[in-house]
Structure 1
Amino acid sequence: MIVLGSNSDVAVAFVEKILSGGEKFPLVYLFTSNVVKTEKLAQHYYAKFEQKCVVIDFDLTKENDFSKLNTIDSDLLFCAAGYLGKNTEEGLYDDWNTKKIVEVNYSKLIVLINHFAKKFEAKGSGTIIGLSSVAGERGRQSNFIYGSAKAGFTAYLEGLRNYLFHKNIHVMTVIPGFMDTQMTADIETPKPLTANPSQAATIIYKAYKKKRNIVYVTFLWWGIMMIIRNIPEFIFKKLKM
């Protein structure tokens, strides 16, 4: 298994879920920009599940050597890489903030996924699971830089799913709403609409086994976003969202 964004709370919960379900992998490749932290995570997986892991130092904000990835082989890629960044009010005109949001959530991320999608296509098997966000469902004034990157990522996954369907590869889009994770630790979220990583992992794992195309973490968000997507623009732009 290949895990992009391996230190993400949701990624950790999903790996634990799939390993506790009895699945074994020759190797689990943990992509990270924080090698020290991820080495401890690899030791945890081995101690708890006897699962061997390889830590791959790969920072999406830097130039990376893709040739070092040529020996990596797997039938499952789980992508939880992401960077929330500053909201619009704080970071709209912060060039570094904008650049990092776009690179980590979209522009450099899809190049990495494409590298493995090509491998999956060549052997005619595999599953790609990508975590996008409800923020990508409609541009909102509070975080439209992040939302635009996630919108692009959602569209990328949809197109990739349609393309690889004919190659016997499945692509699943996961759309979380509010999540109780490290990335949102400084944000107050309504508890009824907030899932924890374990809950998210269970929902994602079940959807993965059923080969779902799109899954919302929690179903309430499907209804909420359907309403938000259909608010007329002349009304929507007046709302503080």
Structure 2
Amino acid sequence: MIILGATSDISQAFVEKVLSETKEIIPEVYLITSNPKETERFARHIQVKYKQESKVIHLDITKEIDYSLFQNIESQLVFCATGFLGKNTEDGLYDEKNTERIIEINYSKLVPLINFWAQKFEEAKKGTIIGLSSVAGLRGRQSNFIYGSAKAGFMVYLDGLRNYLFHKNVHVMTVLPGFMDTKMTAGLPLPKPLTANPSQAASIIYKAYKKKKNKIYVTGIWWVIMSIVTNIPEFIFKKMKM
């Protein structure tokens, strides 16, 4: 099992869900992260709790990627929760470094990395890729449209990859979280009725993965909300503050 963005609360909850549910021996869990120190703590946790061996691999996705690090890794599952929220529009629109970092981490540097494993899965004619996008990618809103545009690109990439790899017996699943109570959103005033925790998200994602779903919302209420938001006529929507 390969985890991209292993410091993510959702990633770690998903790993624990898989380890608690599976009856098969997982030879090794590969925790790929930009924060190896924090991830080492999680690696020790799953070793003690589940007797699960893991390997922490340090990767800064914004730098040139050394693919030789992954050449000998064998897996049938890639779970990608790599992401960077960045500053909101009001604070970060004209901050060049903020904009570049949002686009690189959420899309431009991430796609070639996933393609690396997509090719390996295609050659093996088996495997699953799970990618976390965001409801923010369903329509550009003034509050965070740089982040939303990167997530929209990633979502369309997963759509096309799913279509392409379906004929190669490889499954691609897109996950659309709404508000999540995680480290990335710490301090934000999130409405509790619309917010899920990592454990809830992991259970929903795991069930969908076992059923080979294509695209899922973590909570159904977000399907309702985004169905409304995406169908508001543009001449009205552009006047709204969202």
The code of the aligned residue for 2:31 comes to: L
The code of the aligned residue for 2:95 comes to: D
CA distance in 1, matches of 2:46, 2:88: 35
CA distance in 1, matches of 2:64, 2:52: 30
Question: For each residue in 1:131-159, what CA deviation from the matched residue of structure 2 results, as whole angstroms up to 9, or x when unmatched?
Answer: 00000000000000000000000000000
Runs of 4+ in 1 over 6 A off after TM superposition: none
Q: How does 1:41-60 map to 2 (within 5 A)?
A: 41-60=42-61
SS at match of 2:188: coil
Q: Measure how far apart 1:64 and its partner are.
A: 1.8
The code of the aligned residue for 1:238 comes to: K
SS at match of 2:73: coil
Q: How does 1:203-222 map to 2 (within 5 A)?
A: 203-222=204-223
SS at match of 2:126: coil
Q: How does 1:1-241 map to 2 (within 5 A)?
A: 1-22=1-22, 23-241=24-242
Q: Measure how far apart 1:46 and its partner are.
A: 0.8
CA distance in 2, matches of 1:188, 1:17: 28
The code of the aligned residue for 1:3 comes to: I
Q: Measure how far apart 1:62 and its partner are.
A: 1.2
Q: TM-score, normalised by structure 2?
A: 0.98
Unaligned residue ranges in structure 2 (runs of 5+): none
CA distance in 2, matches of 1:151, 1:64: 23
SS at match of 1:119: helix
The code of the aligned residue for 2:18 comes to: I
Q: Measure how far apart 1:189 and its partner are.
A: 0.9
- How many residue pairs match? The answer is 241
CA distance in 1, matches of 2:91, 2:64: 27
The code of the aligned residue for 1:17 comes to: K
SS at match of 1:17: helix
CA distance in 1, matches of 2:37, 2:161: 33
The code of the aligned residue for 1:135 comes to: A
SS at match of 2:142: coil
CA distance in 1, matches of 2:167, 2:153: 22
Q: Measure how far apart 1:24 and its partner are.
A: 3.2
Question: For each residue in 1:170-209, what CA deviation from the matched residue of structure 2 results, as whole angstroms up to 9, or x when unmatched?
Answer: 0000000000000001211111100000000010011001
User: Identity, % of aligned pairs?
Assistant: 67
Question: For each residue in 1:58-110, what CA deviation from the matched residue of structure 2 results, as whole angstroms up to 9, or x when unmatched?
Answer: 11111121122111110000000100000000000001100110011000011
